[in-house]
A = this chain, B = another copy of it.
Amino acid sequence: MIQKIHHVAIAVQSLEDALRFYRDTLGLPVHEQATREDQGVKAVVLTIGQSEIELLEPLGPDTPVGRFLERRGEGLHHICFQTDDIDKDLAELKAKDVELIDQEPRQGLVGRICFLHPRSTKGVLLELAQPPE
C-alpha cells in the first residue's frame, strides 16, 4: 500500500528566508511554487531524491499553519506517505479505528489526499497521497 515518503513539510515564517537555507545553502532544487488561498498557505516544493521538501508559509495568523507557528514555532509540520490506492487504505484505516481528519479522500496539492489525526499516529500529522497516474 505505502510506497515511499512523498514529502516532508516544514512550517516557516518566511519562504524567502527558508529558501536561503534549503535552496541556496543546501542546494535543493525548487520544482514548484503555489499559493493555496483555500488552505491559507504559500508553498515552495523542493526536490530531494524521490521525495520532496515542502516549505509552508501561512497567508495569515488565522490559518492552520499560522496557528501551528503561533503554538509551536517554525519546524517540521507534517509528513506525507505516497500510496497507490488511497481508497483501500482509508477503508482499512477506518476498519482499524484509526482517527482520521478527512473521512474521504479530497483533492490536494499532490493528488488525492487525506490526513490522519496525530492522536492515532503518535503525535505526527500524517498525510496519505495518491498522485495522479
Contacts and interface: CB of A to CB of B under 8 A. Distances in A.
A99 to B, nearest CB: 11
A75 B5 contact: no
Q: Give the oligomeric copy count.
A: 2
B5 A51 contact: yes
Given A49-B5, A50-B4, A21 B121 contact: yes
A31 interface: no
Nearest to A49: B4
A114 interface: no
A5 B48 contact: yes
B73 A21 contact: no
Interface in A5-30: 5, 8, 10-13, 17-18, 21-22, 25-28
Interface of A: 1-5, 8, 10-13, 17-18, 21-22, 25-28, 48-51, 55, 72-76, 78-79, 81-82, 92-93, 96, 98, 118, 120-124
Given A1-B27, A4-B49, 18 more contacts: A4-B50, A5-B48, A5-B49, A10-B123, A12-B123, A13-B122, A21-B120, A21-B122, A25-B93, A49-B50, A49-B51, A73-B123, A74-B124, A75-B76, A75-B118, A75-B124, A76-B79, A76-B124
Name the 7 nearest CB pairs between A and B, nearest first: A4-B49, A75-B123, A74-B123, A76-B76, A74-B122, A12-B122, A5-B51
